[in-house]
Structure 1
Amino acid sequence: MARRSDTSCAGFGCAGLLLVLFVLPTVGYLLAVPLALPDLLAEQSPPQQLQGFGQYLVVYAIPTVVALLLALFASRRRAGGWWLVPARAVALLALVAAALWWTEGQVGDHPVWNVRAMAESMAAGLVALAFVVAVRRWDASRGGPRVAVGTHRPAPGEIWLAMVPLREDPARQLRHYCVVLAVHPGHAEVAQITTKDKDGRADHIRIPNEGWDKASGRAHWVEFGRTPRLVDYGMFLKSRPQGRCPAPVWRQLSRQLG
C-alpha cells in the first residue's frame, strides 16, 4: 500500500483548519443572523434595532437561502421529488433554531458580544455540518446515485466512468469506462469497456469512439454476451455520463438483455 505523503497530510490538515476557522463560523453566522444581528445592534451606543418590514425580510431571508443551498448541496443523490430540498431546508432551520436556543441559554448573559456571536455561529455551523453529513449518508443508504445540479442519474445506454469490479475477484475494482445496461435500487448493471485488443473474441465487440471519446483516439471494445457486472452507485466517479453508447453497439447490447 502506498504511503501517504507529508504533503497530502498537510493538505488535509489545512482543509480541516480552514473548515473550523472560517467555513463553519461563516455559515453558522449566516444561519444565526436573526439572533446575532439584533444582539449586535443592541450593543451600539445608542442601542439600535431593526426597523421596517424590508429589514426583517432581509434578515430572515439570509438563513432561508443558506439553508436551501445547504440542503441542495447535501442532496446530491436522487432520493425524492422536487419538494425534498425545501423540506430538508425547513428541517435544518428547525435544528439550527433549537441549537441557538440552547446556546443562548448557555452564553446569553456573557458581557462580550463577540463571545456570544462566536458561540452561536459555531453552534449553527456544527449543526449544518452534521446535517450535510447525515443527509449524504442517509441518501447513500437508500441506494440513490449521485446527482448534482444540471446532471442526472445513470441511465441505460449511457457510458460512465466507474470503479468496475473484477470478474475473478468482485471485491476488487478497477477504473474503467462502462456501458450502463440496466439500473436498480442501489446498483447498476454495466458492460465494461477496455482498450485491450479483443478482436476475434466472441465475448467482446468493437465500440466506436464517436459520441463519448473525442480525445484519446484509441480503439475500444465492450463486453458482449457476458453476465453484466454490478456497480454500486457510489462507485460512479463523475456526476455526469461520458456520452451515449453508439447506436449500432447499443442495439446489439440491448438484444442480449432480452
Structure 2
Amino acid sequence: MARRSDTSCGGAGCAGLLLVLFVLPAVGYLLAVPLAMPDLLAEQTPPQELHGFGQYLILYAIPVVVALLLALFAGRRRAGAWWLVPARAAALLALVAAALWWTEGKVGDHPVWNVRATAESMAAGVVALVFVVVVRRWDASRGGSRGGSRDVPRVVVRTHRPAPGEIWLAMVPLREDPARQLRHYCVVLAVHSGHAEVAQITTKDKDGRTDHIRMPNDGWDKASGRAHWVEFGRTPRRVDYGMFLKSRPQGRCPAPVWRQLSRQLD
C-alpha cells in the first residue's frame, strides 16, 4: 500500500501536465466567460451579440456557480460555517476580475481571439489554483482539536477533518528521517491544532512482531484483498493536516484493532 514519494515523479509530472493543459484553461475559461464570450461573438462574421436578460443571466451565473464549487472544494472547516463558502466565492470572483483586468490591459489589443482567450483563461485558472491551495493550507493550519471517543469508532457526519479511529491516506514521515515522507494509509489516533497523531499501516509482512498487529480489511479496504499490519505500541507519528491526501477518510478502523490501539493511548 505504501509508495515512495521519490518514485512518483512520473505520475506527478503527468498530473501537472494535465492540470496545465486542460484543467486550468477549462476552469479559467468558465470563470472568464463574461469577458471571453462577448469577445468571441464579436469575432464572428457577421458579428454577433447577446440579447435579452436570460442570456446575460446565464453568462454571469456560470462564473458564480464555478466560484461556489471551488470554494466548497477548497474549504476544510466545519460544516456549521456555511457563510464561508459564499464569502470565499465572492473573494475568488474579485481576484479573478482583477487578474482579467490586468490581462486585458496586456493582450486586449492582440488581433487573434485565441491568444486573448487563452491568456484570460490561464490567468483566471492560475488565480483559482492559488485560491484553492491557499484556502486549504489556511484551514489546515487553523484546524482546532477535535475530541474523539476511544471506544469503537462511531459513524459521524464528515466535516472533512481527520478524526480518531478513521483511516486516511497521507504522507507519513519516516521514523529514521522525519523530513522525508512516504504515501501510506494510517489510523488517526488523536487530533490537535494543526496536526494529527497516526499509526502507519503497511502491507509488509509483520507477523511475529510485537510492534505491529494484523489488520482486517473490513470497513476500509474492499478492493485490494491484501493483508495489512498497523503499528502498535510505538510513538505515534505526527502528520500535518495539509499532508492528508484525500478530502474524506478511506473508512473506519476495524473495531477489534481500534480497541487495541486506543488502549495504548490511555
Question: Taking structure 2 as the reference length, what is the TM-score of the superposition?
Answer: 0.69
Q: Which residue of 1 aligns with 2:254?
A: 246
Equivalent residue for 2:163, pick from 155, 159, 178: 155
How many angstroms apart in 2 are the aligned matches of 1:135 and 1:236?
Answer: 15
How many angstroms apart in 2 are the aligned matches of 1:15 and 1:229?
Answer: 29
Instruction: Assess, with a 3 A threshold, how the Cα gap between structure 1 residues 64 and 250 changes in structure 2: closer, same or farther.
Output: same
Equivalent residue for 1:8, pick from 7, 10, 13: 10
Counterpart of 2:253, as a letter, is C
Q: Which residue of 2 aligns with 1:189?
A: 197
How many angstroms apart in 2 are the aligned matches of 1:161 and 1:20?
Answer: 25
Q: Which segments of 5 or more consecutive residues in structure 2 lack a partner in the other structure?
A: 145-157
Q: CA RMSD in A?
A: 4.0
Instruction: Assess, with a 3 A threshold, how the Cα gap between structure 1 residues 114 and 178 changes in structure 2: closer, same or farther.
Output: closer
Q: Which residue of 2 aligns with 1:147?
A: none
TM-superposed CA distance for 1:97, in Å, is: 1.4
- Percent identity, aligned pairs only? 79
- Map 1:135-150; keep pairs closer than 5 Å: 135-142=135-142
Q: Which residue of 2 aligns with 1:223?
A: 232
Is the 1:79–1:139 contact (alpha carbons within 8 Å) kept by the matching residues of 2? no
How many angstroms apart in 2 are the aligned matches of 1:185 and 1:108?
Answer: 47
Is the 2:172–2:181 contact (alpha carbons within 8 Å) kept by the matching residues of 1? yes
1:192-224 per-residue CA deviation (whole Å, 9 max, x = no partner) reads 45641246x4x6655555434555464746413
1:106-154 per-residue CA deviation (whole Å, 9 max, x = no partner) reads 444555544443443333333333333433443454468xxxxx88332
Rg: which structure is higher?
1
TM-superposed CA distance for 1:34, in Å, is: 1.6
1:133-180 per-residue CA deviation (whole Å, 9 max, x = no partner) reads 433443454468xxxxx8833211223344444545544555554432
Q: Which residue of 1 aligns with 2:61?
A: 61
Instruction: Assess, with a 3 A threshold, how the Cα gap between structure 1 residues 140 and 217 changes in structure 2: closer, same or farther.
Output: closer
How many angstroms apart in 1 are the aligned matches of 2:165 and 2:106?
Answer: 57
1:53-89 per-residue CA deviation (whole Å, 9 max, x = no partner) reads 21111110111122223333444x4477333232222
Q: Which residue of 2 aligns with 1:99?
A: 99
Count how many residue pairs are aligned between Structure 1 and Structure 2. 247
Question: Taking structure 1 as the reference length, what is the TM-score of the superposition?
Answer: 0.71
Instruction: Assess, with a 3 A threshold, how the Cα gap between structure 1 residues 32 and 227 changes in structure 2: closer, same or farther.
Output: closer
